[in-house]
Amino acid sequence: MFTGIIEELGRVAALESKPAGARLTVACSRILQDATLGASIAVNGACLTAVELASDRFSADLAPETLKRTNLGALTPGAPVNLERPLRANSRLDGHFVLGHIDATAEVVTLEALGECNWWLSIRVPRELTRYIVSKGSVAVDGISLTVAEVDDDLVGFTIIPHTFEHTALKARQPGSLVNIEVDILAKHLEKLAVVSSTPPRASD
């Protein structure tokens, strides 16, 4: 489990295609300080397993499903990626509960300056996910815990503060870019509970 608070901005060192899936290698430093083989690392919000470790990089295998649902397969060498280690049980929860299980990609519609180094980001999300997104709720965008500022049908808007813009891969995005999104898992659970509670009990035989 993650929080959506990005720890480090890594760089893609290589993306090697395989008969089924791919292997991604990321150059970084901070998140490797306590990393071990098999450790989970969120890359642009997608939970990956470190299968190779070096002092300045790690590699992870991308399953076909991961390539299908995320923007990881479109990465090129040198591209910035958001990195986060899993939440420790004794850590502060500064963002929100992020599982690292990407729901889909969304298209960046606008990324424009608001002044004072603040930015406005709007993305177009798949319609089947809009029911989980509410104003002032949370959405993980490329692994970043963001607060929803505006919802207009399938357009979702966020105000990006200077720190977030400067220390994440958002500054490399532009209209037309695809970003990974993970909606709030609590909304999904509440929906299922509501459906179950409203379903009439089955008549006994």
Counts of helices then strands in the chain (DSSP H, E): 3, 13
The b-or-e profile of 67-76 (16+ CB within 10 A means b, else e) is: bebbbbbebe
> What are the residue numbers of the active site?
2, 40, 47, 49, 63, 101, 147
Give dist(CA 162, CA 182) in Å, integer.
22
In contact, 127 and 183? CB cutoff 8 Å: no
Q: Which helix (H) or strand (E) holds 81?
A: strand 80-84
Give dist(CA 140, CA 150) in Å, integer.
15
Give dist(CA 54, CA 35) in Å, integer.
10
